[in-house]
Amino acid sequence: MRRFVLLSLCVATVARAEFKAAYVDFQRALVEVDEGRAAKQRLQVKADLRKKELEGEKTSLEKEADVFKKQEATMDDKARRAKVEVLMKRQSDLAEKVQRAQAEIADAERKEMSSILPKFEAILGEIAQREGLSMVFDRASSGLAWAPPYLDLTNELIRTYNTRKGGAPKAGDAPKVAPKPADAPTK
């Protein structure tokens, strides 16, 4: 038993000595690579069109509600209740349209960005291998509270991605290894 504990401590010490990690900010990289910027612009155009359409419907509903308020005093109870129901139904329908539009835009963004992430992973794999890194963490999803800036691979990822015009080398090509920038982790 004593041998096992001693062996475990030795292995842990050796493993710790060879363990090297870095991190990347995928969210920042997604919006800073050329392909990501173009996707964001396309999505913004779609979102602006939907917003304009929905604002037109909202304005129409508000005008109808204003007309109702002016005429409300002259209406009988049955007509007033019917108009209130119609206005409430239109308001509810508009709220549902807004939620659907938000979901559609979020889905479109996921689809646009999903083509970039595998390319990021391939590039990060190359960088990690070149630098002898054991792990590369995503700053946002890992819960990373703090790390020194020299461990941040985001700038190198963005530069490499943009240099390659959006991605990893094709199968069979020799891997492209970018020169080591000043902000890359040191060994």
Residues in Cβ contact with 144 at an 8 Å cutoff, skipping those fewer than 6 apart: 23, 137
pLDDT grade for 146, boundaries at 50, 70 and 90: confident
Count CB neighbours of 68 within 10 A: 15
The DSSP-derived string for 7-33 is HHHHHHHHHHHH--EEEE-HHHHHHHS
The CATH class for the domain spanning 18-33+116-187 reads alpha beta
| Domain parsing of the chain, residue ranges | 18-33+116-187, 34-112
Helix (H, G, I), strand (E, B) or coil at 131: helix
pLDDT in tens, 38-55: 999 999 999 999 999 999
Closest to 182 in 3D by CA, of 162, 161, 153, 158: 153
pLDDT in tens, 54-69: 999 999 999 999 999 9
pTM of the model: 0.65
